[in-house]
Structure formats: structure tokens, C-alpha cells
Amino acid sequence: MKEILQVKHVTKYYGTGSVVTKALNDISFSVGQGEFTAIMGASGSGKSTLLNVISTIDRVSSGEIFVEGIPLSGQKENRLSAFRRDKLGFIFQEYNLLDTLTVGENITLPLNLKKLDHQKTKRELHRVAEALGVLDQLSKFPYELSGGQRQRAACARALITSPALVLADEPTGALDSTNSRILMETFVRMNQTLGSTILTVTHDAVVGSYTGRVLFLKDGKIWSEVVRGERSRKAMYQEILSVMAALGGDTDVH
């Protein structure tokens, strides 16, 4: 299996002088092509910091991160900007859709920024909108949609560039339990039907139960790992709860 993401001995410090916090402590793992992986842990465990350094929003203090074999350290900002645009798809808790654009215009925004051919843009829009069930929403504006519909539109926008890696930051955080379930079923469709490689950060055991693997962080280190294998989603959920109980800290249970 081709490795899309490699995190090798990554450490991240914040602060200076005598007030220094080690947010990440010698973390190493990889994500293969087509995998759906979650990062879980209590508040302050390093989840958000890990996502930030993978997404190049922040830089590591030591170690290296590779995406499709490309090292992220030492890249100039213009190269990192192009890398984020071409190789990464982002899904945020708050959707980040522009209310002045239609849903279709929001979804195609990354392609328009790349000045892609109009006909190819239309084809790509139809491909992802059909796969994620938002074809009939394209002419509407985000404020006309439910929270779940807006998040599916955000998923389509993240996928339209066919990124190497999709990064999701607490994607169900603003949704109720019903829309959370619908969104996670959308993520499974993204992964299984469109072949997307997804890494999501969450503190919700339900979200973790939809993935193929969960890495648990504690004090900036990988503390444990659960691989779904042949488990049912319910069995995966129970296993996650057991690990979280042993880990300590906050866990969302629906």
C-alpha cells in the first residue's frame, strides 16, 4: 500500500525560555492510500497541534512530515501554499462556506482559483456532488441549507481537487447526533466510493467508530491504537470507549 502520510519523530514545542510546553513528543506513524484514520485523545493531548503541523499551518520543532514522499520542512511559503491547494483537502467544524456564493460556486472555488477549464470544472462538480448527495442543492446558497447539508457541501469542496489527503478537524462538532451520523456515512462514502484518504481529529467515540483505525494521544505521545479489522461498527465503538476509559479525560458519547 502506498503511504500518503508519514510522520517521523515529530516533536513540537511552544513557548520560550523557562516556559516551554512540549505539545508533541516524538510522534511517528503513517497513513496508507485509501485509509480512514482518526486521532483521538483528551483536551490538551496534542490532537489539534498534530493536525496543524500536518496541514502546514504550523511547523514542527524537530522530526519530519512527508506527504506523498514530499518533505514539508524547509519549504518556502509559496511552495507550501501551492501544496495546501493541490495536495490537501480541508473540512472544518464551521463549514467555512461563503454565503455570497451558491453551493456550486463554493464547491468549485478551489478549481476556479487554479483557473481550471470550465468544462472540466463542471464535470468535477457533477462527480463529487452526485457522490455526496448534493446535486439538487447546487443553485442554493449556504444559508438555505441545514447544517448537515452545509457540511456535505464542504466535503464536496474538499474533494473536488482530488487531494492526496483530506484533513477533518472535529467535523461533527457543530452538528446534532442525526446530522453527525449522516455526515459520517458521507465520510465512509468518500473513503470507500471515491477512494479518499482521510485523517480526522475528534473527541467523539461515535465518529471514531466509523473509521478503520484510531490513534489515541496522551501528553503529546501516541498512547494506544485500535484497528477495526473485521469488527462491526458497534464493536469498534465499544473498544474505543474502553480505551478512552483507560486513557482518562473527556469523551463524547451519543
- Among the ranges given (128-142, 169-183, 184-198), the one the predictor scored with the smallest mean pLDDT: 169-183
Domain that holds residue 183: 34-59+76-247
**Residue 102 domain-assigned (yes or no):** yes
Which of these, 131, 140, 185, 139, lies nearest to 159 by C-alpha position?
131
Ranking 92-96, 149-153, 211-215 by mean pLDDT, the lowest is 92-96
The reply to whether 7 falls in a domain is: no
Q: What is the mean pLDDT of residues 170-185?
A: 87
Quick check: is 38 in a domain?
A: yes
The answer to the question of residue 195 being in a domain is: yes
**How many independent structural domains does the chain possess?**
1
In a domain, 28, yes or no: no
CATH number of domain containing 186: 3.40.50.300
- In this predicted structure, the answer to whether residue 254 has a pLDDT above a threshold of 60 is no
| pLDDT exceeds cutoff 80 at 86 | yes
Confidence category of residue 250, pLDDT binned at 50, 70, 90: low
pLDDT exceeds 80 at position 199: yes
In a domain, 5, yes or no: no
Residue 251 confidence (pLDDT) above 70: no
Predicted local distance difference test score (pLDDT) of residue 176: 86
147-159 and 118-131 helices cross at what angle (nearest 10)? 130
Tell me whether residue 19 is in a domain: no
Q: What is the pTM of this model?
A: 0.89
Mean pLDDT across the chain: 91
Q: Which long-range contacts (CB under 8 A, 24 or more apart) does 24-30 make?
A: 24/49, 24/50, 24/53, 24/60, 24/220, 25/219, 25/220, 25/221, 26/63, 26/221, 27/63, 27/217, 27/220, 27/221, 27/222, 28/63, 28/222, 29/215, 29/222, 30/3, 30/5, 30/6
Q: Mean pLDDT, to the nearest integer, of 84-106?
A: 89
In this structure, the number of other CB atoms found within 10 A of the CB of residue 184 comes to: 23
| pLDDT > 70 fraction of the chain, expressed in percent and rounded | 98
Note the pLDDT tens digit of each residue in 139-166: 999 999 988 888 889 999 999 999 999 9
> Does residue 27 lie within any of the structural domains?
no
The string of pLDDT tens digits covering residues 18-73 is 888 899 999 999 999 999 999 999 888 999 999 999 999 899 999 999 999 989 98
